[in-house]
Amino acid sequence: MKQEAKDRGLKKALGSKNSALPSNFTFCTMRKVEEYIRTREKRAEQQMLYSIVAVSAALSAVLGLIVDHFYGKELKRMFSNITDTFLQLDIFATPYILFAIILILLILFDHWMRSSYYKRHKTEE
């Protein structure tokens, strides 16, 4: 795929030049090829970001629907009277354990995504 991108970049560079080639033709051509590859990578990163945001929003919506389906009546009953809510709150109830597990999994996923991103975009020093 990178070879294909280089070939297209070379064709584009050759097509834009006149019959007289400059002395630094190779340098200019490679610079244009690198710019082309860089723009393709940025476009792919943007698409990845948009897809991650869309999937996260969809998963959040599904989580909300599941919570509403299984615990909707109980949540409405619990939050109907705010003063009694704190007295009726049971910390060791099943929903809180499930939310804690989901939170831990999301933190681990965030750590994994960040580490893979920084490995890929590490600057050479």
Instruction: Tell me the pLDDT tens digit for each residue of 60-110.
Output: 999 999 988 888 888 777 667 665 656 656 655 667 777 888 999 999 999
pLDDT at 1: 56
- The percentage of residues in the chain with a pLDDT greater than 90, rounded to a whole number, is 38
pLDDT at 39: 93
* CB 95 within 8 Å of CB 71: yes
**CA–CA gap between residue 26 and residue 9 (Å, rounded):** 12
For the record, the structure tokens of 20 come out as: 């007289």
pLDDT at 125: 46
pTM of the model: 0.43
Chain position carrying tokens 């080639």: 21
* CB 78 within 8 Å of CB 88: yes
Average pLDDT over residues 104-120: 90
pLDDT at 94: 65
pLDDT at 25: 84
Mean residue pLDDT of the chain comes to 81
Residue 2 predicted with pLDDT over 60: yes
pLDDT at 36: 94
Average pLDDT over residues 11-18: 67
